[in-house]
Chains A and B, each alone.
Chain A
Amino acid sequence: MMSGGIPMNILYDAALDGVLPQNDKAEVLADLQAATPGLTLLHREEDLRPFECDGLSAYRVLPMLVALPETLDQVETLLKRCRALGVPVVTRGAGTGLSGGALPLEQGVLLVMSRFNRILDIDPDARTMRVQPGVRNLAISEAASPYGLYYAPDPSSQIACSIGGNVAENAGGVHCLKYGLTVHNVMKVEVITIEGERMTLGSEALDAPGFDLLALFNGSEGMLGVVTEITVKLLPKPETAKVLMASFDDVEKAGRAVGNIIAAGIIPGGLEMMDKLAIRAAEDFVKAGYPVEAEAILLCELDGVEADVDDDCATVRRVLEAAGATGIQQARDDAERAKFWAGRKNAFPAVGRMSPDYYCMDGTIPRRELPRVLKGIADFSAEYGLRVANVFHAGDGNMHPLILFDANQPGELEQAEELGGKILELCVEVGGSITGEHGVGREKINQMCAQFNPGELTIFHAVKAAFDPERLLNPGKNIPTLARCAEFGAMHVHNNQLPHPDLPRF
């Protein structure tokens, strides 16, 4: 996520990303209007403007048309017509994604699924809920609440983000280590393919015959099909949740404490770490009661059955003391617990108050590499003269370094971008990933070249071709072309040869 100007290489570039079919807007509009009577189709510039970006708001492209279907028949017909005409389709949910996965294409239709916002069925005894893709993440837990149930994945945008987008991005949250990502909590999806076929992936049973296409569709960023219905798994609400806050005079000590908690056989519901800059920003902003003199704090939430949680709190307290915590506080009640979390959950806007612009990274690393990566980030920060605040899902190794910069200072945006790229490459170098939960979208398309070699990217393109050989669904996102990787020089060439030199390098 970046607030501020526009980097050069983010927009669709036919020379690098593949040539898109050129269609006449008036003709496409007339065709779709005739084929799908009753479908809301926006085409005037002032109507298209609100859809020009998603949560990655620095990047904006006006789509050719915006479609707001209300029935599955409309979606089916729209996809069939777009395929026949050769018009690319970008699917969008609530538009909260942070990696530009729903960034429109000038030559494409933006398929907005937000009107599919109904909860279709709740089965408390089977602990499942069937929902349309436009239902908000938080609305699922709210609807399940009267039955003592909830939906586990809780991305920080959960008040606004939709479940369809969660599936497309395989969204996470602060409870992933214990409760998993979206892929672990979705049982079944209904899909319409680019050919307009309907298919069911997964099952309300615990497995389905054949390949695990359900897993493949989670996180596929709208490039394999359009998800039109989702059945999620619900969990019984934990009896209790308690949170401990520990402060440290040294970031490395805090990092070691994280490992020691896991080594004690405890899987916390949430385990978050913040460094000094992030602590101070959060404290200034929400007065969470954080120790501003600390170099790092850990927030450790333990949930489950009351008796076990009390036992675990005692164990974690001992581990933190042994790890050299300079202070340990247990939230006395739910109000204080909420206050502790408020600081963490508002860390991004809090950091945003300290600087005109910031750039949020989403790399993951093996936890043992934390000291090395933090040191690396500090070195890069000094080298580029830009401050970096570190917010970290410590339990599952997902880092969110926030790079502070001022886009109005000439060259600073490019510096921030370069620094961000270096951090992600460092994550890959220590065995991690360029994205833990925000997705590749358009934002990290170049860094994909550092994580995967051309042969692996070729396999990804083959998977895409199995579902959408004409590349009409969200082209340009998620998987870079070999041409793009070659251009940006980050390519890992094996034996000095590209695989399939004969293949078109789109």
Chain B
Amino acid sequence: MSDTANTDHDASQALAERIRQADAEGTPLRIVGGDTKAFYGRKVEGSSLATREHRGITSYDPVELIVSVRSGTPLAELEAALDANGQMLGCEPPHFGDDATVGGMVATGLSGPRRPWAGSVRDFVLGTRVINREGIEQRFGGEVMKNVAGYDLSRLMVGAQGTLGLITEVSLKVLPRPGATRSLRLELPLPEALAKLAEWGRQPLPITAAAWHDGALALRLEGGPSSVAATRERLGGEDLEDDYWIALREQRLGFFSPDDSRPLWRLSLPHNTPVIDLPGVNESDVLYDWASSQRWLRSDLDAETIRLASARADGHATCLTPGLDSPFTPLAPVVEKYHRNLKAELDPKGIFNPGRLYAAF
């Protein structure tokens, strides 16, 4: 690694040159940030295009609630800069390793426990700079809260896993850190916990995280000191360390232990979906996050069974354990057609992370 690795550096010219070459030769690129989320999606065959030298915060004015940052910047560095100004990323993204980058957060679009209340990565993206297949950096969206000029290509890039172009910079809306935080644990059987979550969801309560596992519901309250104290009083239960939410986000709880050989699935379901019956799956094999709309499942069941059950509830299922040919739920044929069309328009030679999301593009 060169000596620019730990300082702000604009490497966009070099990245653009690599991309121009790859497009001319038709050779696929595997985009790599911190390489902490390679397990998420299909394996990409291609020569590595490393973003880590393209780093640094390019503009941050806390009063604007907007930060612009190069994609190779470590996520931890960005969070530290925001924290120093009493602000945070509302989507609470998982890192999955010390080297996680901002680009990886945007490309995977993965959000943490606060997501149902505050919004996802995509909801906080205001603008992007993207190097297209011709090696030209282009700017979409910008450093303003509202912008409806042109198509929303910035948000389209979120979760596209680098298949539509190389994200070199992103502008994000940030939030002030809440004035008060309290976490608590309530012993509650699952059906009662789900009923309570639905009931509380209809009330203006300062809940910003809710997860059920192993007979107990964990809740986080955030907001003004007055409302947090009053709600804490009203809900009862016992105190819980706030670190619980980091352990959940980073999949460091016992449930996620690598010693468990069964594949790890993520079920994304509508709010208030009842318990899904799956053969051989016990209550302890499921962890209910996002007030039950994100469910982590440990199971050896085949993909079709899990996906069919998720689809019946109008949800979808992703396998986070590498090995499946299609870790993401296959798309409906018409939707897939327009994915292929978009890919063909923006990356006709298939140089950007080909096959990362689906084999077809």
Contacts and interface: CB of A to CB of B under 8 A. Distances in A.
A268 to B, nearest CB: 12
Contacts, number: 274
Interface string B329-361: 111101111110110111000000000011000
A298 to B, nearest CB: 15
A222 B290 CA distance: 33
B224 A205 contact: no
Chain B interface bracket (under 10, 10 to 19, 20 to 34, 35 or more) = 35 or more
B36 to A, nearest CB: 20
A460 B151 contact: yes
B147 interface: yes
Contact of A431 (B144, B203, B330, B332): B144
B193 to A, nearest CB: 14
A193 B86 contact: no
B243 interface: no
Nearest to A262: B63
B148 A397 contact: no
B322 interface: no
B146 A396 contact: yes
B215 interface: no
A123 interface: yes
A502 to B, nearest CB: 13
A215 B122 contact: yes
B318 interface: yes
B200 to A, nearest CB: 9
B224 A311 contact: yes
B271 A126 contact: yes
A158 B298 CA distance: 46
B345 A465 contact: yes
Contacts of A134: none
A311 B223 CA distance: 11
B143 A366 contact: yes
Interface in B117-134: 119-120, 122-123, 132, 134
B156 interface: yes
A137 interface: no
Contacts of B199: 125
Nearest to B136: A455
A465 B341 CA distance: 8
Contacts of A184: 119, 123
Contacts of A207: 109, 120, 159, 268
Nearest to A456: B138
B320 interface: no
Contact of B145 (A311, A364, A467): A364
B146 A209 contact: no
A440 interface: yes
B150 interface: yes
A176 B126 CA distance: 13
A504 to B, nearest CB: 15
Interface string A109-136: 0000000000000011111100000000
A431 B345 CA distance: 28
B148 A439 contact: yes
B149 interface: yes
Interface of A: 123-128, 147-149, 169-170, 172, 176-177, 180-181, 183-184, 193, 197-201, 203-213, 215-216, 218-220, 236-239, 259-260, 262-263, 265-267, 304-305, 307-308, 310-312, 364-368, 393, 395-398, 431-440, 444, 448, 451-453, 455-456, 459-460, 462-467, 478-479, 499
Which 10 A-B residue pairings sit nearest by Cβ, starting from the closest?
A308-B224, A307-B226, A215-B155, A436-B146, A265-B176, A305-B227, A204-B270, A466-B341, A396-B145, A433-B147
Interface of B: 61-66, 86, 109, 115-116, 119-120, 122-123, 132, 134, 136, 138-140, 142-153, 155-156, 158-160, 164, 175-177, 179, 198-199, 201-206, 223-227, 230, 268-272, 290, 293-294, 314-316, 318, 328-332, 334-339, 341-342, 344-346, 357-358
